[in-house]
Amino acid sequence: MDLKTIFNKKGFRDLIIKSVVFVGLLTLMQVLIQPLSAATPLPEIFKPFSLIYLEDTILFVFAIFAAYNWKNLVDIKKYRMMVSDLLFVPLGALFVGAYYALKFSLNTSQFWFEHVWAFIALKYLFLSLMVMSFFIAAFGRKMIHGQYRIYKKQIPYLLGVALGYWMISSFIEGMWHVFSGTVAWLVYSLLKIGYPGASMTPSADGPAIVVGSFGARIGSLCSGIESMMLFSALFVIIIAIDFKKIDLKRAFILFFPALAGVFLLNVLRIWLLFLVAINISRDIAVGMFHTNAGYILFCAYFFMFLWFVYPWMIVKKAKV
Protein backbone atom coordinates (compact mmCIF):
# COMPACT_ATOMS: atom_id res chain seq x y z
CA MET A 1 0.00 0.00 0.00
CA ASP A 2 1.59 3.29 -1.11
CA LEU A 3 1.38 6.63 0.71
CA LYS A 4 -1.09 8.09 -1.77
CA THR A 5 -3.52 5.24 -1.16
CA ILE A 6 -3.11 5.58 2.61
CA PHE A 7 -3.78 9.32 2.69
CA ASN A 8 -6.78 8.92 0.39
CA LYS A 9 -8.50 7.04 3.20
CA LYS A 10 -10.80 9.59 4.84
CA GLY A 11 -10.67 8.04 8.29
CA PHE A 12 -6.87 7.93 8.44
CA ARG A 13 -6.56 11.46 7.04
CA ASP A 14 -9.01 12.63 9.70
CA LEU A 15 -6.95 10.88 12.40
CA ILE A 16 -3.79 12.66 11.25
CA ILE A 17 -5.52 16.06 11.24
CA LYS A 18 -6.93 15.50 14.73
CA SER A 19 -3.49 14.40 16.00
CA VAL A 20 -1.96 17.62 14.64
CA VAL A 21 -4.73 19.66 16.31
CA PHE A 22 -4.09 17.93 19.66
CA VAL A 23 -0.33 18.57 19.53
CA GLY A 24 -1.05 22.13 18.40
CA LEU A 25 -3.35 22.78 21.35
CA LEU A 26 -0.75 21.52 23.83
CA THR A 27 2.02 23.51 22.14
CA LEU A 28 -0.06 26.70 22.05
CA MET A 29 -0.95 26.34 25.72
CA GLN A 30 2.70 25.75 26.60
CA VAL A 31 3.71 28.94 24.77
CA LEU A 32 0.95 30.99 26.41
CA ILE A 33 1.70 29.85 29.96
CA GLN A 34 5.49 30.08 29.69
CA PRO A 35 5.63 33.53 31.38
CA LEU A 36 3.39 32.26 34.20
CA SER A 37 5.48 29.13 34.58
CA ALA A 38 8.70 31.13 34.83
CA ALA A 39 7.14 33.50 37.37
CA THR A 40 5.88 30.71 39.66
CA PRO A 41 8.72 28.23 40.25
CA LEU A 42 7.82 25.40 42.63
CA PRO A 43 9.93 24.57 45.70
CA GLU A 44 11.66 21.20 45.44
CA ILE A 45 9.37 19.59 48.05
CA PHE A 46 6.47 19.93 45.61
CA LYS A 47 8.35 18.07 42.85
CA PRO A 48 8.75 14.49 44.15
CA PHE A 49 8.92 12.90 40.71
CA SER A 50 11.33 13.43 37.87
CA LEU A 51 9.20 14.47 34.89
CA ILE A 52 12.11 15.23 32.57
CA TYR A 53 11.22 12.27 30.31
CA LEU A 54 7.43 12.38 30.70
CA GLU A 55 6.83 13.81 27.22
CA ASP A 56 9.32 11.33 25.72
CA THR A 57 7.50 8.50 27.50
CA ILE A 58 4.11 9.56 26.14
CA LEU A 59 5.47 9.88 22.61
CA PHE A 60 7.21 6.52 22.90
CA VAL A 61 4.03 4.75 24.03
CA PHE A 62 1.99 6.29 21.23
CA ALA A 63 4.70 5.33 18.72
CA ILE A 64 4.67 1.72 19.98
CA PHE A 65 0.88 1.66 19.78
CA ALA A 66 0.88 3.10 16.24
CA ALA A 67 3.64 0.74 15.06
CA TYR A 68 1.85 -2.34 16.42
CA ASN A 69 -1.61 -1.36 15.13
CA TRP A 70 -0.76 0.62 12.01
CA LYS A 71 -2.68 -1.66 9.62
CA ASN A 72 -5.90 -1.19 11.61
CA LEU A 73 -5.29 2.53 12.07
CA VAL A 74 -4.91 3.02 8.32
CA ASP A 75 -8.41 1.57 7.88
CA ILE A 76 -9.98 3.52 10.75
CA LYS A 77 -13.43 4.87 9.97
CA LYS A 78 -14.21 8.57 10.08
CA TYR A 79 -16.04 9.75 13.19
CA ARG A 80 -18.24 12.82 13.27
CA MET A 81 -17.31 15.54 15.73
CA MET A 82 -20.01 16.93 18.00
CA VAL A 83 -20.25 20.67 18.64
CA SER A 84 -20.23 19.97 22.37
CA ASP A 85 -16.71 18.50 22.02
CA LEU A 86 -15.39 22.02 21.41
CA LEU A 87 -16.48 22.99 24.93
CA PHE A 88 -13.55 20.96 26.22
CA VAL A 89 -11.11 23.62 24.94
CA PRO A 90 -12.21 26.29 27.45
CA LEU A 91 -12.58 23.51 30.04
CA GLY A 92 -8.92 22.60 29.52
CA ALA A 93 -7.97 26.27 29.86
CA LEU A 94 -10.00 26.39 33.07
CA PHE A 95 -7.94 23.54 34.52
CA VAL A 96 -4.77 25.41 33.56
CA GLY A 97 -6.11 28.43 35.45
CA ALA A 98 -6.90 26.22 38.46
CA TYR A 99 -3.35 24.85 38.42
CA TYR A 100 -1.78 28.32 38.43
CA ALA A 101 -4.22 29.55 41.08
CA LEU A 102 -2.96 26.62 43.16
CA LYS A 103 0.65 27.67 42.55
CA PHE A 104 -0.06 31.31 43.42
CA SER A 105 -1.71 30.20 46.69
CA LEU A 106 1.72 29.10 47.91
CA ASN A 107 2.58 32.78 48.34
CA THR A 108 -0.45 33.55 50.51
CA SER A 109 -0.83 30.51 52.72
CA GLN A 110 1.24 28.00 54.67
CA PHE A 111 -1.49 25.37 54.35
CA TRP A 112 0.11 23.56 51.40
CA PHE A 113 3.51 23.44 53.09
CA GLU A 114 1.83 21.46 55.85
CA HIS A 115 -0.05 19.24 53.38
CA VAL A 116 2.49 18.70 50.61
CA TRP A 117 0.99 15.52 49.19
CA ALA A 118 -2.45 17.15 48.92
CA PHE A 119 -0.86 19.89 46.80
CA ILE A 120 0.95 17.32 44.64
CA ALA A 121 -2.27 15.34 44.12
CA LEU A 122 -4.18 18.46 43.04
CA LYS A 123 -1.30 19.58 40.85
CA TYR A 124 -1.25 16.36 38.79
CA LEU A 125 -5.05 16.14 38.81
CA PHE A 126 -5.39 19.59 37.20
CA LEU A 127 -2.62 18.89 34.67
CA SER A 128 -4.11 15.48 33.77
CA LEU A 129 -7.59 16.95 33.35
CA MET A 130 -6.12 19.68 31.13
CA VAL A 131 -4.51 17.11 28.80
CA MET A 132 -7.66 14.96 28.80
CA SER A 133 -9.83 17.97 27.95
CA PHE A 134 -7.68 18.94 24.97
CA PHE A 135 -7.54 15.27 23.90
CA ILE A 136 -11.35 15.07 23.85
CA ALA A 137 -11.63 18.44 22.08
CA ALA A 138 -9.23 17.31 19.32
CA PHE A 139 -10.41 13.73 18.72
CA GLY A 140 -14.04 13.84 19.82
CA ARG A 141 -15.89 11.57 22.21
CA LYS A 142 -17.23 9.31 19.46
CA MET A 143 -13.76 8.45 18.13
CA ILE A 144 -12.31 7.98 21.62
CA HIS A 145 -15.15 5.69 22.70
CA GLY A 146 -15.07 3.71 19.45
CA GLN A 147 -11.31 3.15 19.54
CA TYR A 148 -11.37 2.39 23.27
CA ARG A 149 -13.73 -0.53 22.64
CA ILE A 150 -11.31 -1.91 20.04
CA TYR A 151 -8.01 -1.43 21.87
CA LYS A 152 -8.98 -1.52 25.56
CA LYS A 153 -7.22 -4.87 26.09
CA GLN A 154 -3.90 -3.27 25.08
CA ILE A 155 -4.10 -0.50 27.70
CA PRO A 156 -2.54 -2.48 30.61
CA TYR A 157 0.40 -3.48 28.37
CA LEU A 158 0.89 0.10 27.17
CA LEU A 159 0.82 1.37 30.76
CA GLY A 160 3.46 -1.23 31.60
CA VAL A 161 5.61 -0.06 28.68
CA ALA A 162 5.19 3.57 29.81
CA LEU A 163 6.15 2.78 33.39
CA GLY A 164 9.16 0.73 32.29
CA TYR A 165 10.39 3.40 29.88
CA TRP A 166 9.95 6.18 32.43
CA MET A 167 11.69 4.21 35.20
CA ILE A 168 14.63 3.33 32.96
CA SER A 169 14.89 6.92 31.70
CA SER A 170 14.78 8.33 35.22
CA PHE A 171 17.35 5.81 36.44
CA ILE A 172 19.75 6.61 33.62
CA GLU A 173 19.12 10.35 34.02
CA GLY A 174 20.16 9.99 37.66
CA MET A 175 23.54 8.75 36.41
CA TRP A 176 24.17 11.82 34.27
CA HIS A 177 27.29 12.68 36.29
CA VAL A 178 28.90 9.44 35.08
CA PHE A 179 28.02 10.09 31.45
CA SER A 180 28.92 13.79 31.60
CA GLY A 181 32.24 12.98 33.25
CA THR A 182 33.05 10.41 30.55
CA VAL A 183 32.06 12.81 27.75
CA ALA A 184 34.13 15.59 29.30
CA TRP A 185 37.20 13.37 29.71
CA LEU A 186 37.03 12.15 26.09
CA VAL A 187 36.47 15.67 24.71
CA TYR A 188 39.29 17.01 26.89
CA SER A 189 41.63 14.26 25.68
CA LEU A 190 40.85 15.10 22.04
CA LEU A 191 41.32 18.82 22.62
CA LYS A 192 44.67 18.30 24.35
CA ILE A 193 46.05 16.87 21.09
CA GLY A 194 45.73 20.18 19.28
CA TYR A 195 45.51 22.55 22.24
CA PRO A 196 47.94 21.55 25.03
CA GLY A 197 46.75 24.48 27.15
CA ALA A 198 43.24 23.05 27.53
CA SER A 199 42.10 22.50 31.12
CA MET A 200 39.25 20.61 32.82
CA THR A 201 37.78 21.43 36.23
CA PRO A 202 35.25 19.18 38.02
CA SER A 203 32.14 20.66 39.65
CA ALA A 204 28.73 19.61 40.98
CA ASP A 205 27.03 20.86 37.79
CA GLY A 206 29.37 18.92 35.50
CA PRO A 207 33.02 19.26 34.44
CA ALA A 208 34.04 22.59 32.89
CA ILE A 209 36.48 22.57 29.95
CA VAL A 210 38.38 25.73 29.03
CA VAL A 211 40.44 26.27 25.88
CA GLY A 212 41.90 29.74 25.56
CA SER A 213 39.11 32.28 26.04
CA PHE A 214 36.29 29.76 25.48
CA GLY A 215 34.88 27.48 28.13
CA ALA A 216 31.80 25.26 28.50
CA ARG A 217 30.33 23.08 31.20
CA ILE A 218 29.43 19.48 30.31
CA GLY A 219 26.17 19.20 32.24
CA SER A 220 23.26 16.77 32.10
CA LEU A 221 22.03 18.09 28.73
CA CYS A 222 25.45 17.37 27.21
CA SER A 223 25.73 13.87 28.70
CA GLY A 224 24.24 12.12 25.65
CA ILE A 225 21.48 10.45 27.68
CA GLU A 226 18.63 11.96 25.68
CA SER A 227 20.04 10.86 22.32
CA MET A 228 20.69 7.34 23.66
CA MET A 229 17.12 7.07 24.95
CA LEU A 230 15.79 8.35 21.63
CA PHE A 231 17.84 5.79 19.70
CA SER A 232 16.67 3.02 22.05
CA ALA A 233 13.04 4.05 21.52
CA LEU A 234 13.42 4.08 17.73
CA PHE A 235 15.19 0.71 17.87
CA VAL A 236 12.26 -0.83 19.79
CA ILE A 237 9.74 0.73 17.39
CA ILE A 238 11.58 -0.78 14.41
CA ILE A 239 11.45 -4.21 16.02
CA ALA A 240 7.73 -3.75 16.75
CA ILE A 241 7.06 -2.87 13.10
CA ASP A 242 9.13 -5.69 11.55
CA PHE A 243 8.87 -8.18 14.41
CA LYS A 244 8.23 -11.20 12.16
CA LYS A 245 11.18 -10.39 9.89
CA ILE A 246 13.86 -9.69 12.51
CA ASP A 247 16.35 -12.10 14.05
CA LEU A 248 16.08 -11.09 17.71
CA LYS A 249 19.49 -12.54 18.59
CA ARG A 250 21.15 -10.39 15.95
CA ALA A 251 19.13 -7.37 17.09
CA PHE A 252 20.28 -7.89 20.68
CA ILE A 253 23.91 -8.21 19.58
CA LEU A 254 23.72 -5.05 17.47
CA PHE A 255 21.91 -2.88 19.97
CA PHE A 256 24.75 -2.24 22.43
CA PRO A 257 27.47 -1.38 19.88
CA ALA A 258 24.97 0.87 18.09
CA LEU A 259 24.09 2.58 21.38
CA ALA A 260 27.78 3.09 22.13
CA GLY A 261 28.03 4.72 18.71
CA VAL A 262 25.32 7.21 19.71
CA PHE A 263 27.30 8.07 22.85
CA LEU A 264 30.49 8.61 20.85
CA LEU A 265 28.51 10.72 18.39
CA ASN A 266 27.68 13.07 21.27
CA VAL A 267 31.39 13.25 22.14
CA LEU A 268 32.07 14.22 18.52
CA ARG A 269 29.38 16.92 18.72
CA ILE A 270 30.85 18.53 21.85
CA TRP A 271 34.38 18.34 20.42
CA LEU A 272 33.26 19.99 17.18
CA LEU A 273 31.46 22.69 19.17
CA PHE A 274 34.75 23.60 20.84
CA LEU A 275 36.55 23.63 17.50
CA VAL A 276 33.92 25.93 15.99
CA ALA A 277 34.11 28.28 19.00
CA ILE A 278 37.92 28.38 18.94
CA ASN A 279 38.48 28.66 15.20
CA ILE A 280 35.35 30.29 13.78
CA SER A 281 33.00 32.05 16.20
CA ARG A 282 31.87 31.64 19.79
CA ASP A 283 28.40 32.97 18.87
CA ILE A 284 28.00 30.44 16.05
CA ALA A 285 29.16 27.63 18.34
CA VAL A 286 26.76 28.31 21.20
CA GLY A 287 23.99 29.43 18.87
CA MET A 288 23.41 27.84 15.48
CA PHE A 289 25.81 24.91 15.91
CA HIS A 290 24.66 24.00 19.42
CA THR A 291 21.01 24.17 18.37
CA ASN A 292 21.23 22.19 15.13
CA ALA A 293 24.28 19.94 15.20
CA GLY A 294 22.79 17.41 17.61
CA TYR A 295 19.75 16.39 15.60
CA ILE A 296 21.58 16.63 12.26
CA LEU A 297 24.30 14.23 13.44
CA PHE A 298 21.74 11.95 15.07
CA CYS A 299 19.58 11.75 11.93
CA ALA A 300 22.64 11.03 9.79
CA TYR A 301 23.76 8.31 12.21
CA PHE A 302 20.32 6.71 12.39
CA PHE A 303 19.87 6.62 8.61
CA MET A 304 23.35 5.11 8.23
CA PHE A 305 22.32 2.50 10.79
CA LEU A 306 19.16 1.71 8.79
CA TRP A 307 21.09 1.57 5.50
CA PHE A 308 24.17 -0.43 6.49
CA VAL A 309 23.39 -2.29 9.73
CA TYR A 310 19.65 -2.88 9.90
CA PRO A 311 19.56 -5.31 6.92
CA TRP A 312 21.81 -7.69 8.89
CA MET A 313 19.02 -8.00 11.49
CA ILE A 314 16.54 -9.24 8.90
CA VAL A 315 15.96 -12.99 8.63
CA LYS A 316 17.22 -14.34 5.32
CA LYS A 317 14.68 -14.58 2.50
CA ALA A 318 12.27 -12.30 4.36
CA LYS A 319 10.90 -9.41 2.33
CA VAL A 320 11.88 -6.13 4.01
As a whole-number percent, the residues of the chain with pLDDT over 90 amount to 17
pLDDT at residue number 320:
46
Task: Specify which of 61-70, 98-107, 199-208, 242-251 reaches the highest per-range mean pLDDT.
Answer: 98-107
- Comparing CA positions, the residue from 141, 126, 173, 151 lying closest to residue 62 is 151
Write the DSSP assignment of 208-270 as a string of letters: EEEETTEEEE--GGGSSHHHHHHHHHHHHHHHHHTGGGB-HHHHHHHHHHHHHHHHHHHHHHH
Least confident of 77-81, 129-133, 166-170, 184-188: 166-170
Beta bridge partners of 308: none
Q: Yes or no: say if 76 and 15 are a contact pair by the CB < 8 Å rule.
A: yes
Q: What does DSSP assign to residue 85?
A: G
Q: Give the Cα-Cα-Cα angle 24, 173, 162 (nearest 5 degrees).
A: 55
Q: Which residue has the higher pLDDT, 97 or 205?
A: 97
Q: For the CA atoms of the chain, what is the radius of gyration?
A: 23
pLDDT band, residue 138 (cuts 50/70/90): very high
Q: How far apart are CA 118 and CA 72, in angstroms?
A: 42
**Stretch 293-305: mean pLDDT:** 83
SS3 content of the chain, % helix, strand, coil (to 5): 80, 5, 20
Task: Enter the pTM of the model.
Answer: 0.63
Least confident of 72-76, 262-266, 284-288: 284-288
